[in-house]
């Protein structure tokens, strides 16, 4: 087992990883930008080092500086969290060259599954269903040709995309060229890779993902599934485990597909396979080769510390439990609390004047917030995740309503009231909702 881990991230996920390390008796090293000098993860870690200016390109994305700190502090491994460098194969390769383990499935898997058009091909070879799509588009004329073949509406995707960036839905040919150029530009600025491909866009679908964990001996286990269909501009807002309104037959087929894909690529540690579900059919969307923001709801249901076992499997520890040992008889819901204006949803900043976190059995708030903390404009607007768990889905909804009513955050505009709207929405309560629900609720 590792004796010291550097956390190459910030905010809620850095705090989450540090907590897991403390429970495992592992020393931690935090890195931070000048804007984060008073951040909670900086105070919690055993050692902390400033690595640059407020912008992520000057700090949290600076591979060489992070690796320098890792070597200086004798860290044996780096946990990348999510976002930032978490799915960057170059970072995995550089870490390995420096004798440091990046807690991930490794450079080869990250490179293959990070290029979405290659991931599609691998999925097909593993017998996983995919939507009609194209190779990397060579230009606007090729985009027109492929769209005519696939049929409108289509969705343009940056092959290196993620976090809702590098995506455009096109419903008419007249809009295709401008959308294609926009996606290429956004992809180049966000990911340094302007390659774009195309898929058939499916309307009124559920976004369901399967949580996997694997060890270096080839054992792959399914820890459950999550519904992530409540989204605004491709950004997830609410997740729940397990996904409602799925038949047992469809669920098992998805589990088998996720496991087959993991085995096909030789996956190790924690990962997620995302699917689009329409009626009794499902289609491969992508594989996330990292810890997901919404891993918390799965932890609440199955009782397994996903971060702990991500670290253990990366260190070569074999999974001591079997598929039959993973029991999922509860239901959990997560609401992402974001700093944003209630009217136009634009990111908000400010100082936390008052913070009250709800409590009770199976109520959890994963966050790096504390009273007097200042929210800056430099980073993602997510402030934390409010998670509840109950024996039934109805019970989880009631518990979430109670927790939201008790949650208080003054000084920074946030989306607590928006989440309450969903908990009281008839379509959400029934559970038979899809990715279009935001348009009807907000």
CATH number at residue 186: 3.30.1490.20
108 in a structural domain? no
Q: Is 290 among the catalytic positions?
A: yes
Exposed, middle or buried, 36 (CB in 10 Å: 0-12/13-18/19+)? Answer: buried
CA distance 6 to 69: 8
Q: Which helix (H) or strand (E) holds 386?
A: strand 382-390
Q: What is the pLDDT of residues 374-417, one digit of tens each?
A: 999 999 999 999 999 999 999 999 999 999 999 999 999 999 99
Q: Indicate if 187 and 216 belong to the same structural domain.
A: no
User: What digits encode the pLDDT tens for the residues 286-313?
Assistant: 999 999 999 999 999 999 999 999 999 9
Beta strands in 265-359 (DSSP E): 269-278, 281-288, 331-338, 350-351, 354-356
Structural domain containing residue 267: 206-441
The number of folded domains in the chain is: 3
- Same domain? 236 vs 330: yes
CATH code for the domain in which residue 90 is found: 3.40.50.20
Domain assignment present for 110: no
> What is the CATH classification number for the domain harbouring 219?
3.30.470.20
Residues 408 and 393 in one domain: yes
Looking at the fold, whether 298 and 427 belong to one and the same domain comes out as yes
Residues 160 and 231 in one domain: no
**Peptide bond connecting 279 to the previous residue in cis, omega within 30 degrees of 0:** no
Whether 308 is covered by a domain: the verdict is yes
117 found inside a domain: no
Residue 191 in this model has a pLDDT that exceeds 90:
no
Same domain, 386 and 237: yes
Q: Is residue 46 part of a domain?
A: yes
- Region of poorest pLDDT, from 88-102, 177-191, 209-223, 283-297: 177-191
Domain boundary among 103, 124, 151: 103
Q: What confidence tens digit (pLDDT) does each residue in 95-107 have?
A: 999 999 999 999 9
Q: Mark which of 103, 119, 143 sits at the end of a domain.
A: 103
116 within a domain of the structure (yes/no):
no
Q: Is residue 122 part of a domain?
A: no
Residue with the two structure tokens 């990366």 = 314
Q: Which residue has the higher pLDDT, 161 or 125?
A: 125
The model's pTM: 0.92
Please provide the average confidence, as pLDDT, over all residues in the chain: 94
Residue at 214 is within a domain: yes
Phi, psi of 170 (to 5 degrees): -125, 125
Write down the catalytic residue from 159, 168, 290, 312: 290
Q: Do 139 and 88 lie in a common domain?
A: no
């Amino acid at each position: 087992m590792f004796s010291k881990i550097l956390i190459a991230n910030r905010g809620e996920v850095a705090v989450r990883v540090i907590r897991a390390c403390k429970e495992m008796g592992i020393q931690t090293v935090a890195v931070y930008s000048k804007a984060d000098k008073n951040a909670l993860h900086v105070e919690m870690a055993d050692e902390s080092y400033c690595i640059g200016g407020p912008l992520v390109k000057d700090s949290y994305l600076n591979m060489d500086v992070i690796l320098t700190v890792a070597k200086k502090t004798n860290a044996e491994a780096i946990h990348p969290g999510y976002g930032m460098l978490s799915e960057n194969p170059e970072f995995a390769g550089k870490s390995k060259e420096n004798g440091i383990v990046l807690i991930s499935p490794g450079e080869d898997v990250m490179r293959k599954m990070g290029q979405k058009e290659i991931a599609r091909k691998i999925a097909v070879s593993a017998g996983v269903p995919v939507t009609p799509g194209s190779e990397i588009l060579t230009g606007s004329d090729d985009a027109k040709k492929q769209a005519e073949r696939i049929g409108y509406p289509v969705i343009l995707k940056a092959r290196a995309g993620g976090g809702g960036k590098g995506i455009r839905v096109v419903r008419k040919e007249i809009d295709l060229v401008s959308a294609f150029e926009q996606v290429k530009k956004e992809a180049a600025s966000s990911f340094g890779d302007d390659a774009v491909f195309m898929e058939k866009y499916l309307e009124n679908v559920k976004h369901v993902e399967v949580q996997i964990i694997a060890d270096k001996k080839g054992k792959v286990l399914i820890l459950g599934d999550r519904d992530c269909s409540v989204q605004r501009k491709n950004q997830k807002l609410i997740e729940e485990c397990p996904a409602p309104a799925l038949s047992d037959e469809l669920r098992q087929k998805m589990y088998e597909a996720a496991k087959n894909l993991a085995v096909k690529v030789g996956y190790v540690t924690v990962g997620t396979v995302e699917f689009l579900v329409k009626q009794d059919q499902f289609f491969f969307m992508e594989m996330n080769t990292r810890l997901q923001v919404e891993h918390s709801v799965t932890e609440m249901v199955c009782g397994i510390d996903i971060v702990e076992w991500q670290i253990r499997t990366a260190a070569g520890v074999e999974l001591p439990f079997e598929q039959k040992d993973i029991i999922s008889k509860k239901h959990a819901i997560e609401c992402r609390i974001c700093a944003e204006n209630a009217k136009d949803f634009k990111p908000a900043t400010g100082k936390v004047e008052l913070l009250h976190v709800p409590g009770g059995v199976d109520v959890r708030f994963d966050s790096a917030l504390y009273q007097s903390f200042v929210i800056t404009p430099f980073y993602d607007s997510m402030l934390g995740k409010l998670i509840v768990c109950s024996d039934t889905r109805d019970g989880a909804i009631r518990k979430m309503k109670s927790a939201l009513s008790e949650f208080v955050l003054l000084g920074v505009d946030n989306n607590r009231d928006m989440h309450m709207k969903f908990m009281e929405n008839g379509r959400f309560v029934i559970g038979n909702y899809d990715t279009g629900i935001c348009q009807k609720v907000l």
